[in-house]
Structure 1
């Protein structure tokens, strides 16, 4: 089943959800700020995205700038930071089987539907 990691307060995330609602596909909404991902879940998603952990970080978030920016961080450090502070995770993320995409731009979601 298709999944969307969704933040209802984010305009891009709402647009991604609307795109999914307009399809005939069943999907599950995961509010990852309410139910944070585990390290293993996040690693799996990063693998499906085919990107580095740093590429999934929202680098303009205050917590990133104050606690992590400019430091020599390993991939594990970055993943741990995203698990500890889910706001750092870029959104929305749509997962379909073994593939995933960040819905920025929203139309990118169509690639995996």
Structure 2
């Protein structure tokens, strides 16, 4: 059964994302899987995830090594510009991000998702 309280922003092409999903299911959690590249999160959803991560800095979930990051000239971007860029270019969002209730973790390494299972 899908856990309504656990969501993973998942990219099936990413080994870390696949590993995090496998760890969740091995531990009896059937999360809601959001393929964030196909269903890009809104700016409000990004702000909500940051809050759950305990930060307001979009760089915490930004893939700064992506070519798109350089193409958009985001190295010196402020938080508002980064949020807009993440919403418009979900490839820039770090993966996976797992949310459970009012908490979230970036699953890098994948074992970090286990932190959510033990409050």
Q: TM-score range by the shorter chain?
A: over 0.9
In structure 2, the residue matched to 1:13 is 17
Structure 1 window deviating more from structure 2 (46-55 vs 32-41): it is 46-55
In structure 1, the residue matched to 2:63 is 58
2:74–2:82: 8 Å Cα contact kept in structure 1? Answer: no
Alpha-carbon separation, structure 2, partners of 1:27 and 1:55: 22
Q: Following TM superposition, by how much is the alpha carbon of 1:21 offset from its aligned partner in structure 2, in angstroms?
A: 1.1
User: What SS does the corresponding residue of 1:80 show, helix, strand or coil?
Assistant: helix
TM-score normalised to structure 2 length: 0.89
Q: What per-residue deviation string (whole Å, max 9, x for no partner) do you get for residues 62-103 of structure 1? A: 0101212433x2211101100100010000000000000000
Q: CA RMSD in A?
A: 1.1
In structure 1, the residue matched to 2:111 is 107
Q: Following TM superposition, by how much is the alpha carbon of 1:24 offset from its aligned partner in structure 2, in angstroms?
A: 1.6
2:10–2:36: 8 Å Cα contact kept in structure 1? Answer: yes
Q: Following TM superposition, by how much is the alpha carbon of 1:23 offset from its aligned partner in structure 2, in angstroms?
A: 1.4
Q: How many residues align?
A: 112
TM-score normalised to structure 1 length: 0.94
**1:16-95 equivalent positions in 2, closer than 5 A:** 16-51=20-55, 52-71=57-76, 73-95=77-99
2:63–2:92: 8 Å Cα contact kept in structure 1? Answer: yes
Return 5+ residue gaps in structure 2 as ranges: none
